[in-house]
Amino acid sequence: MNSAARTACAVVLVVGVLVAGLYVVGRLNPVPAPVIAGDVLGPDNGEEVSAYLVRAEASLSGADDERWALISLASPMETMAVWSLTQNVSTPALSILSQSIFNVPIDRVQTPTVAVPSGNTESSFIASSQVAAESVRQRSTGTERARAVGEVAAARLRAGCVCVIGVVVRASLDRLRTLAETSQVRAVQALPADASAGLFSVVPLLPTMTTVVAPTPDDGPIPAA
C-alpha cells in the first residue's frame, strides 16, 4: 500500500472514531426537549370580557390531567375565604397554590395589582397579604399621587382587607371544572398540559372589568390611609 492510500485509510479511520464518539456522547447526554414558553394566563389588553370568559371555559375541556390555571374571582375576597374556597369545594385539595393576586378597590382610583407567592399552608396563604402590602409600597413611586395611593393600599392590605381577586394554582382539570361552577368564581383558565412552571405570565382580570379589558378610571379622590 502506497503512502497516499495509507493516508486516506488513516483519515477514514479517524473520522469513523470521531463519529462514533459523538454518537456515544449524544446518547449519554441527550439534548433536552425544548421548554414551552410564552404562555399567558388572563385576558388580552382590549379583549372583550365576554370573549375571554368563553375562551377560559374552553380551556377546561379535555382529559383530566394537572394544569396550571388562573382562578379569577367574581368579587374581591379575604384571604381566609379564598383559602377555604380552594380547600373545601371538593376533595382532594388543590395540588399547588402558587400565587395570590391582590388589588385594593378604591372607587375611581387606580391601585397597583400585585401577584405574590401564596404558599401551600393556611398560615403562609393568609400571610401573603402582608407580602402584597410591601410589594405595593415598593411599586408606588414616581408621582405624589402614586405614593399616596400606595400608602393607602398597603395599609389596607396589612389590615387584611377584602382584596384577593385571583389565584394561580396547579390542579386537575376535574378539580378546576368544579371550582369554575362555584358562585365565588368568575372564570378559570387553564394552560396546556405542557406549560412549564415559572415560564408563563399572568394578566389578572379585575372584578371591575365588565365589558372590555382596559385601564380603570383614575380621577377619584384618595382616601386617608
Predicted confidence (pLDDT) per residue in 16-35, tens digit: 443 344 333 344 444 343 34
CA distance 185 to 57: 12
Q: Is the Cβ–Cβ distance between 209 and 187 less than 8 Å?
A: no
Grid coordinates of 181: 361552577
CA distance 209 to 44: 12
Banded model confidence at residue 8, pLDDT cuts 50, 70, 90: very low
The mean of the pLDDT values for the chain is: 85
Q: Is the Cβ–Cβ distance between 206 and 75 less than 8 Å?
A: no
Predicted confidence (pLDDT) per residue in 133-164, tens digit: 999 999 998 899 999 999 999 999 999 999 99
Predicted confidence (pLDDT) per residue in 169-206, tens digit: 999 999 999 999 999 999 999 999 999 888 899 999 99
User: Which residue type is seen at 144?
Assistant: E
